[in-house]
Structure 1
């Protein structure tokens, strides 16, 4: 018989972005909280996802700057990529954030329980033989790097988990999947000097974005020398001491040092007792209502295990939402379309709200108006030597329902885009705001000026 642990107001199963956010906010609201984690608090985002990949991308940007310094009148040479140094920098960033998060959790008097947790009753989690009861349970077990049926990971066939630990730069790489993860690694490895080929079964790279952004992204990657094959499915791979040999269904073959499998992430829900306790799963995802309740007892779910965008900031927001819901604060439900999305490659892609096609589906073919503002007309973009554009989607005679951007550093602009979409601003509302000059941010202001019918630097 299992030992009985302590009873808590809330037991959170998983300490990634969604889980630790729920724990921190609940503790702030006076709840007693147990946070169960088999690995390290911070989860995939901090240790094997967002943070380490963005550290690599920053190192890649520095490599490009060193390589292209003469263009700006700065004579520089790139002696090479020291992966030991890059990894030390990456790990230092992770270590600092990890230490800070541990301190924050300790200061909130959250009980961290190390080990694999399993839901054994609607109000009980068992960890290594000890049971912990919670008046409320929050499932936040996150996701794993998915593969394809029959495609085994090992050797030179790797996922992002192994790619982040490489202590060498591949001379050539094939990337299976042209979504966010695949595109970011393609960008890094190209900047580090590798020959890169992306294989994507869908018709476009970053296929979840507005098609105008996807096409512009493809042009930018093509200009950088990143090759890609679209609309063709992967068939198989063999590997030997010389590398990998990849075959597509159309008969094309490719050879490279490594194959990175970046076909998305699967929900980590198997074998955790969810279904046995009545929680509904669909293809492994936990089904909830808009309040993130599972329909079982006082069990909630947040983050990558809930169908929708698999983004750390979505999980973080859901964790806060559930803690406030449990505390009786009745927070407003999170609107999925209002969550910003960023691909941190070179160039960056950032968006929030509905795509043009999505808006036409919701509001009607003739009830949508779009505008594209070229960053060539923006002074700061010219200084940074970046190309791209901002695309606005509005309901005709109504609010802006989508903001889509491509260009270096546009991810830093999505904050205002998020406010515009979520607060249902009209173009005229944004056009009246004064944006600092010279910034890329003012391109958002100018785009809304144009959409409001009074373009300054853009043509009517």
Structure 2
């Protein structure tokens, strides 16, 4: 809650109220620092209002729709889907977002964080001008957390109706009968999955030779197989040549890997080709800062996430790789920076141990190095795989999937990769395995409950440790 008297001096000034920004503010305030948090829109940022939370709410509804079809076709439950009440679905989604928003604002108020609505422009290494508020100086430091926006394509203007981005796709009117999704990363795959569950004909186009190209190749293969099985037209190694907006939808020309041109028609085109950092109007030059060629603000000290200007730190989507542009990574970055500004010596963020999840059907969840990445890094690699259908619970779900473990020969676990139902809820164990440098034998001595999908994880480690029950290394 904004105080009556304007603050002109504070310990920490946080510019941007998304996950990275508000986590910095909350932790800094808990450590006794005075904090001003500036946000031009709503606290919570893209993740809460346009991305992570509303999209996962919709994907849960999509899972329920899929469950009706499975009940009828596989289990003999004579259920039918009468219709999807779109306004009711939207109302539930918005209620979840609203309750989360009120929770975040309540936490900030209780912590004593001064939240100011407006845009901030740096005026010096320790000061910023907030539109409609005034100049604020930060004694300890400034934290840049202004996030990102969807990347657009030249000549293709998102109108929120026929052509949409991931920021507005959830809020376009009604459900389209057909959709062309451009981009096969996590966001594109999730939206393709959602629209297919809701009954749309979906074409998914990715320029790389496989979906989720930053993940392990086996993850891509199993994911593609699962999406195709659901009826999604997956086209990898394909490029959009041009697109025309029509009265009743869009018409796109797509170049295939063989050099042929194919025409795709759809009611809606969803552009999901990545995101770009937001630094416009931030006044970086006045503080002695710039960006790299992709618009990121690069830290000079990754252990502290501090820029080349002492006292100015950066978190969230403004960071280049190895930061991951993920909300949960931003939380960790916010904690690190807040504790640094409070004079503590926190451990750096271990990005290799941060999980990566795609919430489609099937889901993917990974942590650590892919098999190719491990080999490229010079490791002598051994690999263990276990299909989910090899355990009883995997048979119950009947959706396929797999567990893949990448480890050093006679050494530590380098990466774990999962594909299948609910694997987003299974990856936390593997985060600890990779983050604590465990070896397969360390994991193999722990018992996984039966019958669960997690048994497949346990079996993969048993096999690598030479103790496999149902398979041999």
The structure 1 residue matched to 2:296, chosen from 257, 273, 285, is 285
Call closer, same or farther: CA 1:4–1:103 in 2, change over 3 Å: closer
Distance across 1 between alignment mates of 2:251 and 2:392:
46
| Alignment pair present for 1:313 and 2:354 | no
Q: Does 1:145 align with 2:113?
A: no
Separation of aligned partners in 2, 1:117 and 1:237: 37
**Preserved contact between residue 182 and residue 269 of structure 2 (Cα < 8 Å):** yes
TM-score (normalised: structure 2):
0.94
The 5-angstrom pairing of residues 28-177 of structure 1 reads 28-70=30-72, 71-129=74-132, 130-135=134-139, 136-154=141-159, 155-177=161-183
Name stretches of at least 5 consecutive residues in structure 1 with no aligned partner: none
Which of 412, 424, 430 is matched with 1:411 structurally?
A: 424
Q: How much has 1:32 moved relative to structure 2?
A: 0.4
Shifted more, 149-158 versus 164-173: the winner is: 149-158
Offset at 1:85? 1.2
Moved more, 432-441 or 91-100: 432-441
Return the offset for 1:5.
4.2
The CA deviation string for residues 7-36 of structure 1, in whole angstroms up to 9 with x for no partner, is: 111000001000000000000100000000
Counterpart mapping for 1:171-190 below 5 A: 171-190=177-196
Query: Scaled by the length of structure 1, what TM-score is found?
Result: 0.97
Aligned ranges 1:299-378 → 2 under 5 Å? 299-308=312-321, 309-364=324-379, 367-378=380-391
Across the two proteins, how many residue pairs are aligned to each other? 456
Could you tell me which residue of structure 2 aligns to residue 6 of structure 1? 8
Q: CA deviation at 1:418?
A: 0.3
Contact 2:389 2:398 in 1 (8 A): no
Residues 276/247 of structure 1: CA separation in 2 closer, same or farther (3 Å cut): farther
Q: Is the 8 A contact 1:176 1:263 kept in 2?
A: yes
- 2:297 touches 2:318 (CA, 8 Å); kept in 1? yes
Task: Report how far residue 306 of structure 1 moved.
Answer: 0.2
In 2, the alpha carbon distance for the partners of 1:275 and 1:72 equals 63
Secondary structure, counterpart of 2:105 in structure 1: helix
Say whether residues 1:274 and 2:274 are aligned partners. no
Equivalents in 2 of 1:25, 1:380: separation in Å?
Answer: 40
RMSD: 1.3
1:256 is aligned to 266
Distance 1:115 1:99 in 2: 19
In 2, the alpha carbon distance for the partners of 1:454 and 1:281 equals 51
Using the TM superposition, give the Cα deviation of residue 4 of structure 1 relative to its aligned residue in structure 2, in angstroms: 8.1
- The CA deviation string for residues 236-261 of structure 1, in whole angstroms up to 9 with x for no partner, is 11112111001124421111000000
SS of the residue 2:79 aligns to: coil
Q: Distance in 1 between matches of 2:344 and 2:452?
A: 39
State the Cα distance separating 1:371 from its structure 2 match. Answer: 1.1
1:363-397 CA-partner distances (Å, limit 9, x unpaired): 24xx1111111111222222222211100000111
